[in-house]
Amino acid sequence: MAEFPFENRIHDAAETMSVDQRRAIQLERLQATLRRIADVPFYRKAFADAGIAPQDVRSLDDLRSLPMTTKADLRDHYPLGFLAVPRGQVARIHGSSGTTGKPTFVAYTAEDRATWADLCARFLVAGGLRSDHLVHIAFGYGLFTGGFGLHYGVERVGAAVVPAAAGNTPRQIMLMQDLRADVLVCTPSYALNIAEVARSQGLGPQDLSIRFGHFGGEPWTEDMRHAIEEQLGILAFNNYGLSEVIGPGVSGECAARTGMHIQEDHFLVECVDPDTLEPVADGRQGELVFTTLTKQAMPVLRYRTRDIAALDRSQCPCGRTTVRMSRVVGRTDDMLIVRGVNVFPSLIEEALLRVEGTAPHYLIEVDRPGTLDEVDVYVEIRAEDFSDRMSRMQELRDRITREIHSVAGIRVTVHLVEPQTLERSVGKAVRVIDHRREKGRI
């Protein structure tokens, strides 16, 4: 067995059941879900249009004949047209902020909320959480699912929570120091922000007692993980989820950290080619599509996430038998098409973090001033690497430009900026500003 950084514990025996046993449960739950959504207007119509009745689904392979659901479908049935239970049974409403102004709402029954707590507890335990830990949660508590989801998960494990919420970074650091939190929960970009503010106060990892971090809510690279681990002196774990499916708790890393275990007894996952919608082979990148199997208030069938990742069914040394997903390399709607080349912002992050001297704070601006796309990448330089010598800075800039070209295949104009010049986020970081979109050119 691989060497784990801590004792490998499993929260729920369902995580290690045999694949066959799980498939039987999945089918039963899928059939129950189909019965539950038969009266949701969107699905009633979709089933009628496709000429299928819920009882036609007799095996998991039949899933492929069922209709898909998109964010646009949810928007078209704003605010709660996908509700599958009477309003009186709704116990909670969350939402994801849309770029279009109105959020997409998702609803939970009391049972859904309990399931959610269990699912978050599973990945927290997989990533080292014990009942005697104190967890500092620096996610927003509000319509965003991050704060409440992780909060429930920590409580389910029996650990203690500091619901610090997002923002006011110096205060976060004071709380972590004074209360001696063991675990930090937030977005990866906010973790870096916290590390940086701590450093500016003359504090290093030895001044904080954080040992693990559970980070999610936005894409991040392996280099970003290293930067966080080094700067905070912790082990950093990735967890993934989306509000439409349940929020955090869809998947998370175990101690082996070779992909995020998908909680397959609650969600069926498919990985498809985003253009043809045909399944892609394991190990190949595609768009993840999830079907909820136990959600009561708002089940979704074949929900297109727009998240690009690959699936891995190989055996994991932790003993969990669930399929793992890779990091999300990007979202289909975040993919930049620059002069015909497809680039995910994460590739640019990967390239620039490979160059010694760069800080993991960057902003990508895309524009089309004439007929051709132009990309400007603003990169912060570490204070100790910032130099008055033009030639040194020029050399660094050239190295970053070359690295981005070799990794991402596009030529960009790199601007080195002084430490602390780019805006910091307390939640999901904004990495790309696409002026072409504002001008209606894409």
Which stretch, 213-221, 271-279, 390-398, 399-407, contacts ligand DLL (CB under 6 A)?
213-221
Q: Is 259 in the site for ligand DLL (CB under 6 A)?
A: no
- Which DSSP symbol is given to 441? -
Residue 112 to residue 423: CA distance in whole angstroms: 37
**Which residue of this chain has its Cβ atom nearest to ligand DLL in the complex?**
216
Least Cα distance to 126 among 153, 88, 104 occurs for 153
Quick one: 239 or 263, whose CB is closer to ligand DLL?
Answer: 239
Least Cα distance to 290 among 308, 270, 312 occurs for 270
Q: Is 193 in the site for ligand DLL (CB under 6 A)?
A: no
φ/ψ (deg, to 5) at 293: -110, -20
Q: Is 96 in the site for ligand DLL (CB under 6 A)?
A: yes
The burial of 277, by beta-carbon neighbours within 10 Å (0-12 exposed, 13-18 middle, 19 or more buried), is given as middle
Residue 300 to residue 73: CA distance in whole angstroms: 11
Residues binding ligand DLL: what is the number (CB under 6 A)?
20
Contacting residue, 23, 331, 354, 435, with ligand DLL by CB under 6 A:
331
Hey, what amino acid is at 113? Answer: R
Q: Is 299 in the site for ligand DLL (CB under 6 A)?
A: no
Contacting residue, 63, 162, 184, 328, with ligand DLL by CB under 6 A:
328
Helices (H), 202-324: 222-232
For the bound state, the minimum distance from the C-beta of residue 276 to ligand DLL, rounded and expressed in Å, comes to 21
Please report, for residues 31, 322, 361, the alpha-carbon distance to residue 301 in angstroms, rounded to integers and kept in the order given: 11, 20, 37
Contacting residue, 127, 219, 299, 360, with ligand DLL by CB under 6 A:
219
Supply angle C-alpha 230, 234, 236, rounded to 5.
Answer: 95
User: Residues 135-164: x/- map of binding to ligand DLL (CB under 6 A)?
Assistant: ---------xxx------------------
Which stretch, 195-203, 216-224, 369-377, 406-414, contacts ligand DLL (CB under 6 A)?
216-224
Hey, what amino acid is at 98? Answer: G
Residue 381 to residue 369: CA distance in whole angstroms: 27
User: Residues 225-254: x/- map of binding to ligand DLL (CB under 6 A)?
Assistant: -------------xxxxxx---xx------
Question: Among residue numbers 337 through 396, which ones bind ligand DLL (CB under 6 A)?
Answer: none
The answer for 372, left when phi > 0, alpha when psi is -120 to 50, beta otherwise, is beta
For the bound state, the minimum distance from the C-beta of residue 240 to ligand DLL, rounded and expressed in Å, comes to 4
The burial of 209, by beta-carbon neighbours within 10 Å (0-12 exposed, 13-18 middle, 19 or more buried), is given as middle
For the bound state, the minimum distance from the C-beta of residue 55 to ligand DLL, rounded and expressed in Å, comes to 32
Q: Is 218 in the site for ligand DLL (CB under 6 A)?
A: yes
- Where do contacts with ligand DLL occur on this chain (CB under 6 A)? 96, 144-146, 216-219, 238-243, 247-248, 305, 307, 328, 331
